[in-house]
Amino acid sequence: MIQMSALFRKEVVESWRNFRLMAILIVFIIIGVLSPFTALILPDILGMVMKDSGIMAEIPDSAALDSYTQFFTNMNQMGLVIFVIVFGSILTHEFSRNTLVNLVTKGLKRTNVIVVKSVFLIFVWTMGYVVSALVTYIYTLYYWDEAVDHLILSFTMTWMYGLFIISLVMFASTLFTNSFIAVLLSVVAIVIMMMMASIHPDVAEYLPQYLIGNNVGLLAGEVEPRDVLWPSVITGGVTLVLFLLAVLRFRKAPMN
């Protein structure tokens, strides 16, 4: 436990002094602020563009649902990608710079390395995501003051998908010491899942991708909460298995 808390403190100090923690917080806050703001001004922008183009059409006023649509689009496409770019090398850069050797040869348990780094990533992702979601929620209430059903479940779906991505990156990092290859492998895994979904659409309902593809559908009432059960269970299961595989692989990984 002492090893784990020391290592966790080291991760916090490292990401603070390297400005990574600050960077991800700023990006997530920007997403939180921009999403409702974009939804708010989008009808005006569209109206101006259409007027300039001579198109006459009535643009409906934006609603709370548009704000959350913007939020999930930004978070699922941009937020997660930036998170992986900023923190995806958390293990591999220790390999490439050999910084773990000093600690492992002092009796630092390799399992603790994976557990602490995973917990730290989950902590940063959760903190950043909650702040971002709260900012969007507060601004959405402020601008529209409308109740939206299944909001917490909808937020939870992207959060769960983030955990899945973290486990994928951690596992890939134990296979490849090069951070670029590790991230690339994670992307390839996601692309394969998407291809599987397109080849056999029935499979798509059980894949992690379902969680980030249906947040808005759930809020709009197009998807029922029970539809989310199986992809959530499968995503949670796959996430746990990937974390476990990362631990098992790292325990027997040669270190140079």
Partner 1 sequence: MSILRIEGLKKAFNEKTVIENLELEVGSHEIYGFIGSNGAGKTTTMKMVLGLLAADEGDIYVCDEKVRFGDTLTNRHVGYLPDVPEFYTYMNAVEYLKLCADITGVEKSAQKERIDELLELVGLKGEKTKIKNYSRGMKQRLGIAQALIHRPKLLICDEPTSALDPKGRMEILKILKEITKETTVIFSTHILTDVERICDRVGILYDGAIVKAFDLNQESFGEKGIAVELDAGAYETLKPLLDIRRMVGTTYIIADHSMKEIYDTLHAHKIYPSKIVKEQKSLEDVYLEVTS
Site for partner 1 in 69-98 (CB under 8 A): 97-98
Is residue 22 at the binding interface for partner 1, with CB under 8 A as the rule? Answer: no
Is residue 152 at the binding interface for partner 1, with CB under 8 A as the rule? Answer: no
Is residue 101 at the binding interface for partner 1, with CB under 8 A as the rule? Answer: yes
Among the listed ranges 1-9, 83-91, 136-144, 195-203, the one in contact with partner 1 (CB under 8 A) is: 1-9
Query: Residue from 111, 141, 143, 196 that binds partner 1 (CB under 8 A)?
Result: 111
- Total binding residues for partner 1 by CB under 8 A? 29
CB of 95 to partner 1, least distance (A): 11
For 237, half-sphere exposure in the C-beta direction (CA atoms, 13 angstrom radius) is: 8
Pull the structure tokens for residue 108.
């630092």
String of contacts with partner 1 for each residue 225-254, x by CB under 8 A: --------------------------xx-x
97 vs 200 by CB, closer to partner 1: 97
CB of 111 to partner 1, least distance (A): 7
The contact set with partner 1 (CB under 8 A) reads 2-3, 5-7, 10, 13-14, 17-18, 97-99, 101-111, 251-252, 254-256
